[in-house]
Amino acid sequence: MDETRTRTMLRLALALSLALALINHVLAPKAFAATQLLFDYQFGLIRRGLAGELLRHLSGGTVSIHEIYAAAALVTLSGILAFALYLWRYLPRRTSGYLLLVLAFNSFAFASFAGNTGYLDGLLMLVAVAALFSTPNTLAGLALRLVLCAVGVLVHENMLPYFAVLIGLDLWLRTSGRNARFAIAASPVLAALAVLAILVLFAEFTPEQATDYAQHLQARAGFALDANSTDVAGRSIGQNLALMEELRGTRKYWTWVLFDGVPLFAMSLWLLWLAGRVAGNVAPLTRLFIAAAILSPLSLNLIAFDVVRFGAASVLAGFLVIGLLLRSIPGAVDRLERTLNWPHFLIVLVLNANMFTIGVNIGAGHTSQFPWVLLTQWQWFLP
């Protein structure tokens, strides 16, 4: 098969991969995700309240189940579209670029990201990609990135480890001058830290406030809420650390780490290795920055019990990092072409096709795939 026809077939495979990922995994949201979309600022500043505050102004009083479904779908689809557009824009129109895109869309981490329908991670991806698309070479462009990092933390505090380091890496790769380069690259992390500090100081609830807030949310919701989500909203970092200390002594925690966390971590390590090959002969400090951008989401495992979401964010950040390297480092495209050959691609694809996480949408994993999953999709239209 000639090169032109090969690339045509790969584009078809790419379209099918993305379409099937959406059909198989973007199911109606779980109660936890739907409840968090209602968080607002009616009781003052609260973590994760920005998206719900916007929804409050758009929806008015009570939010129906179909309105929350529409919001959940928009949140997740916007993140998926942003991720796909970024990779499409910066991966090369060569065989290796198409192969990497197929791997991204068939990754079990991408399935988990898509399957957590309605989780605010989708908006964090959208904010991060908007920052990466912006021009950093002017004061206004840098200011826009800092504002986007701050907005991301108001959407969800996970913005800091998920993507603030990644945005800093992009600035590092695209600026020069040693002292200025350090300051500019660190600025997204510092901006995110500043907003997080404000949230830690002012966005904690007493037990009485948490009860009142839960009643406020239930009055707004035309559906049953997840009580645990309101507990999470008022929980301090110290309380989270104490909870994690307790959970690390349970078999449930280590089972989840072993069967979900370890495979996701292995995928992150593969992307870290691939990024190193693509980067070529760069300075050790740049390599350290690359590793931090890919692995920083995993630091959340110290404070919260969701190894699937954090591992998926690490993997997707790895694909974005390779996109950054391809657009910023001379010779990176040729090095990707030499590294990601067909046998290499097939091995990684087969491993991803046969991996699954229990965190995908319905708790115990999907009971069906296409075409039977279409029966499950009817839940979107039920009263």
Instruction: Write down the pLDDT at residue 233.
Output: 62
Q: How many CB atoms lie within 10 A of CB 10?
A: 17
Q: Closest Cα partner for 228 from 42, 65, 33, 363?
A: 33
**Residue range 246-253: average pLDDT?**
82
pLDDT at 234 over 80: no
User: Phi and psi of 332, rounded to 5°?
Assistant: -65, -40
Instruction: Write down the pLDDT at residue 272.
Output: 98
Q: Taking a C-beta distance cutoff of 8 angstroms, is the pair 335, 273 a contact? A: no
Asked if residue 38 is part of any domain, the answer here is: no
Q: Which residue has the higher pLDDT, 178 or 222?
A: 222
Asked if residue 101 is part of any domain, the answer here is: yes
Instruction: Write down the pLDDT at residue 326.
Output: 96
The mean of the pLDDT values for the chain is 90
Asked if residue 39 is part of any domain, the answer here is: no
For 284-313, how does the pLDDT look when each residue is reduced to its tens digit (9 = 90+)?
999 999 999 999 999 999 888 889 999 999
For tokens 């970092």, name the residue: 237
Asked if residue 277 is part of any domain, the answer here is: yes
Instruction: Write down the pLDDT at residue 361.
Output: 47
Structural domains in the chain (count): 1
Residue 315: burial class (beta carbons within 10 Å; 0-12, 13-18, 19+): buried
Q: Taking a C-beta distance cutoff of 8 angstroms, is the pair 69, 380 a contact? A: yes
Rounded to an integer, what distance in angstroms lies between the CA atom of residue 240 and that of residue 136? 36
Asked if residue 359 is part of any domain, the answer here is: yes
Asked if residue 48 is part of any domain, the answer here is: no
Rounded to an integer, what distance in angstroms lies between the CA atom of residue 174 and that of residue 177? 11
For 345-370, how does the pLDDT look when each residue is reduced to its tens digit (9 = 90+)?
999 999 999 888 876 544 544 556 78
Instruction: Write down the pLDDT at residue 151.
Output: 98
Asked if residue 12 is part of any domain, the answer here is: no
User: Phi and psi of 63, rounded to 5°?
Assistant: -100, 120
Containing domain of residue 187, as a range? 64-203+236-376
Rounded to an integer, what distance in angstroms lies between the CA atom of residue 172 and that of residue 150? 19
Instruction: Write down the pLDDT at residue 365.
Output: 46
**Residue range 111-132: average pLDDT?**
96
**Lowest mean pLDDT, pick from 15-29, 57-71, 310-324, 338-352:** 57-71
Rounded to an integer, what distance in angstroms lies between the CA atom of residue 244 and that of residue 238? 10
Asked if residue 153 is part of any domain, the answer here is: yes
Instruction: Write down the pLDDT at residue 113.
Output: 95
**Lowest mean pLDDT, pick from 97-101, 178-182, 187-191, 304-308:** 178-182
Instruction: Write down the pLDDT at residue 57.
Output: 86
Residues 6+ apart with CB under 8 A from 309: 112, 116, 119, 121, 359
Which amino acid, residue 239? Q
Instruction: Write down the pLDDT at residue 200.
Output: 87
For 133-185, how does the pLDDT look when each residue is reduced to its tens digit (9 = 90+)?
998 878 888 999 999 999 999 999 999 999 999 999 999 999 876 678 899 99
Per the rule left: phi > 0, alpha: psi between -120 and 50, beta: everything else, 206 is beta
pLDDT at 314 over 70: yes
For the CA atoms of the chain, what is the radius of gyration? 21
